[in-house]
Amino acid sequence: MKKWIGILFLTVSILSCNHPEKKSGFVPNPTTLEELFRGFNNTELSPDTVNLDKEPIVIVATGHLYPLLKYPLAYNALIETAKEQKPDYFFALGDMVFNNTDAEWDTVFSYLNKLNTRVYFSPGNHDLNYHYERYYGKRDHEIEAEMRFLDKVGYRYKLVKDNLANYVFINANDSVQRILAYINQIKPQLDYNKHLIILSSQSLWINQQQEPGKPHSWVNRPFHRDELLPKIQEFDYLIHGDWAAKFYRGKWKKKKNGYFDVMAVGNKKAGDSLYITRITIYKDTILAKPIMVNIPDKSHWYK
- Give residue-wise pLDDT tens across range 221-250: 999 999 999 999 999 999 999 887 889 999
Mean pLDDT for 255-262 is 93
282 vs 295: CA distance, rounded Å: 31
- CA-CA distance, 102 to 83, in Å (whole number)? 25
Give residue 19's pLDDT band: very low, low, confident or very high (50, 70, 90).
low
User: Per-residue pLDDT for 296 more than 80?
Assistant: yes
pLDDT tens digit string along 24-64? 789 999 999 999 999 999 999 999 999 999 999 999 999 99
Identify the weakest region by mean pLDDT among 147-161, 205-219, 271-285.
205-219
Average pLDDT over residues 144-152: 97
The C-alpha torsion from 25 through 29 and 30 to 36, rounded to 10°, is 60
**pLDDT score of 215 more than 90:** no
Give the total residue count for the chain: 303
Q: Is 39 left (phi over 0), alpha (psi -120 to 50) or beta?
A: left
Asked whether the predicted pLDDT for residue 16 surpasses 50, the reply is no
> What pLDDT, on a 0 to 100 scale, did the predictor assign at position 6?
46
How much of the chain exceeds pLDDT 70, in percent? 92
Distance CA 94, CA 42 (A): 21
pLDDT at residue 10 tops 50: no
Q: What is the pLDDT of residues 172-190, one digit of tens each?
A: 999 999 999 999 999 999 9
Of the pLDDT bands very low, low, confident and very high (cuts 50, 70, 90), residue 20 is low
Sequence ranges of the domains in the chain: 40-292
Burial 260-269 (b: 16+ CB within 10 A, else e): bbbbbbbbee
More confident residue, 160 or 218: 160
> Which of 245, 182, 274 lies closest to 263, judged by CA?
245
Q: Phi/psi at 154 (nearest 5 deg)?
A: 105, -15
Is residue 13 predicted with pLDDT exceeding 60? no
Residue 145: predicted pLDDT: 97
**What's the pTM value of the predicted model, to 2 decimals?**
0.92
Domain 40-292 falls in which CATH fold? Purple Acid Phosphatase; chain A, domain 2 (3.60.21)
CB 77 within 8 A of CB 68: no
